[in-house]
Amino acid sequence: MGKYVILAESGGDVPKEMAEKYGIYIIPMHVNFGDETKDDGFFPTTDIFDYYKNTGKLPKTAACNSYEFEEMYEKIHAEHPDSHILYLAYSAVTTSTYQSGLVAMDDRDYITPFDTKFCSAGQAYVILLMARYIEEHPDASVEEIIAYGEDIRPRTHMGFFPGDLDYLRAGGRVSNAAYMGAKILSLNPLIEINDGYLVASKKYRGKMNKVSKKLLQEYVVEHHFSKELLFLIHSPGFPEKQKEELTQMATDLGFQEIHWICTGSVVSTHSGPGAFGLVGLTEKS
């Protein structure tokens, strides 16, 4: 391990192979199934969908607490005493996790926090770019790494379609009237992350197979994406055939590196099965 160790929450949906390659530590967020609490990443995400189907109730997501952060900080420091911990956090305005991470820092001067202002694949995207920056600049200072993060963060864009509006309604995120209107008109609300907040922007009409392709075509142009790296997002239940078609479309658009990111239990609780989205980086002008 080098000068730095990266820590992130499980809600960032960092793929296992990426975490292993860059030595990224993951602290689990939680999901409450009634009176039972489970750690995100330690049970099948489809348990979320089964629970909702069987009970008509959505599980509740829960943040990491400060005690859990203290344990994680101590664990990393014991294993890598000469390394500095970079806590690259889940959007602070969406959860109390970031505050818990700050409280647990106390007088530990070997930790630097950074709010990625993203969740799910958006957070993973920022983390990957920062991990690669560290790999390419092993002698970089903490200030230089954070400055790089502050440069790419506002240029990173993420948009996604929930897979099932029932989950948004059950979670109180859309009214019954809006839900019925969207169902009748076959509308898919695009959810984007703006300065850390999840915001519903425009609506796309049609089946997921159609709107996912339209989003890929339009979002890339709208945000002037660099063609070096693209993340495509799906929650369990998104058809493999559509993944293949979208991968080919992204390749035809000129993207050099394409990764599919599967949402974990925290994000899937809100998106439902069959969600689709993408993350990319606006080129510098």
pTM: 0.93
Q: Residue 41: what pLDDT?
A: 92
pLDDT of residue 42: 94
| Structure confidence at residue 183 (pLDDT) | 47
Instruction: Spell out the residues 6+ positions from residue 224 whose beta carbon is closer than 8 angstroms to its own.
Output: 282, 283
What pLDDT score does 102 carry?
97
Q: Which ranges of the chain have pLDDT less than 50?
A: 170-185
The burial of 185, by beta-carbon neighbours within 10 Å (0-12 exposed, 13-18 middle, 19 or more buried), is given as exposed
Could you tell me whether strands 156-161 and 187-194 are parallel, antiparallel, or unpaired per DSSP bridges?
A: antiparallel
Closest to 273 in 3D by CA, of 163, 160, 121, 170: 163
**What's residue 58's pLDDT?**
87
Determine the pLDDT at residue 271: 83
In one letter, which amino acid is 203? K
